[in-house]
Amino acid sequence: MNEGKNNYEDRLKEFKENGYIIQRGIYSDDDFEELFIAFYDLALSSAKRNSIFIDFDYFPSLNKASYPEDLKILDKLLLMILKENKSFIGEIYDAFSYSSAFLRFVSNRKVEEISKILLGVEKNTTLYGWTNRVRIDPPGDNRRTYGWHQEIFYTQPRFTYLQTWAPVLRDTTFENGTIWIKEGSHKEGIAKQTWNEIEGRATQVLIDKEILNKYKSKNLKMKKGDVLFFNGFLAHSSGNNITSDEIRYSLVGMWNDTSTLDFRAPIPNFTSRTESAKEYFIKKFGKSRINKIKN
Ligand SMILES: [Fe+2]
């Protein structure tokens, strides 16, 4: 692979052959610092909101926390919150996903430019993303790790899309569970698979073993700043985080081509963690002020 090269046309050949490319040096430590601060801030607010004791002799205040020096401290803080209640981490994750810092990060122009080349769309085509997230994978938590799959049955199956994956805040290694791919497996198109609903775990739509055996597994160890771009049909799987105290932060992204006939914008569906506006209205003013008016 010519990972350091900037000649995207060259990379297109490689992408078509292998089903993926890794582009180096897309994100800088300045980009990561912004994300670090957002995570640290959201974690401190969560601790405060949920009455979790923070020892400020150990945990620096928000304006004293610095990246990358305090990354282990962010891990500790998140693991402490996770131990208290897993759903608190889910809430941090949801808040982070729509934070201005993350939206800036995920809308990186280089990523957009390369995505369009690899998708083979015009440079003015609008890309649509809504499942872009930074995953937080703590040690020894496999509830949301996925076996060998294609994305098609985890997303809008009729869309045309390109996937991205990138280490965030720290390198991703075998130990912290970096992504696995099957080189060249995109050539299968939609591979034969089974849909498994497993109690207490995320649904697993898994590719048949005979198909997987045809391709070489690759564990893609990646450096901060690298971005993996891969074909929507490429078989991939999560790794397990077998470290004792290191969180794996990773960007999982998907850019959909809005110009295809099959693209139909999904309906956004946000649900409150507390009460709806109407429920709050009733608490404030009582039901008597709810009018039902017929035309
Ligand atoms: Fe996936």
According to the 3-state scheme, what is the secondary structure of 257-284? ECCCCCCCCCCCCCCCCCCCHHHHHHHH
When the pLDDT of each residue in the chain is averaged and rounded to a whole number, the result is: 94
- The rounded Å distance from CA 276 to ligand 1 centre is 32
Side chain identity, residue 235:
A
- The rounded Å distance from CA 153 to ligand 1 centre is 9
* pTM above threshold 0.85: yes
H or E segment and range at residue 57: none
> What is the Cα–Cα distance from 288 to 263, expressed in whole angstroms?
44
pLDDT (0 to 100) of residue 7 = 66
- The rounded Å distance from CA 231 to ligand 1 centre is 11
The residue to which tokens 């390369």 are assigned? 114
Fold classified for 1-27+123-260: Jelly Rolls (2.60.120)
- The rounded Å distance from CA 150 to ligand 1 centre is 6
- The rounded Å distance from CA 69 to ligand 1 centre is 31
Where along the chain do its domains lie?
A: 1-27+123-260, 28-107
Please, which residues have CB within 8 angstroms of residue 221's CB and are 6 or more apart in sequence? 171, 172, 173, 174, 178
- The rounded Å distance from CA 234 to ligand 1 centre is 9
Q: Report whether pLDDT(83) > 90.
A: yes
| Confidence bin at 8 (pLDDT 50/70/90) | confident
- The rounded Å distance from CA 219 to ligand 1 centre is 14
Contact between 99 and 38 (Cβ < 8 Å): yes
pLDDT in tens, 210-252: 999 999 999 999 999 999 999 999 999 999 999 999 999 999 9
- The rounded Å distance from CA 265 to ligand 1 centre is 20
- The rounded Å distance from CA 29 to ligand 1 centre is 26
Give me the sign of the Cα torsion angle 10, 15, 16, 18: positive
* Percent of the chain topping pLDDT 90: 90
pLDDT in tens, 138-167: 998 776 678 999 999 999 999 999 999 999
- The rounded Å distance from CA 184 to ligand 1 centre is 16
Count of alpha carbons within 13 angstroms of residue 16, beta-carbon side: 9
Q: Annotate 173-191 with DSSP letters as a single string.
A: -TTTT--EEETTGGGGSS-
Please, which residues have CB within 8 angstroms of residue 292's CB and are 6 or more apart in sequence? none
> What is the Cα–Cα distance from 19 to 223, expressed in whole angstroms?
20
- The rounded Å distance from CA 157 to ligand 1 centre is 13
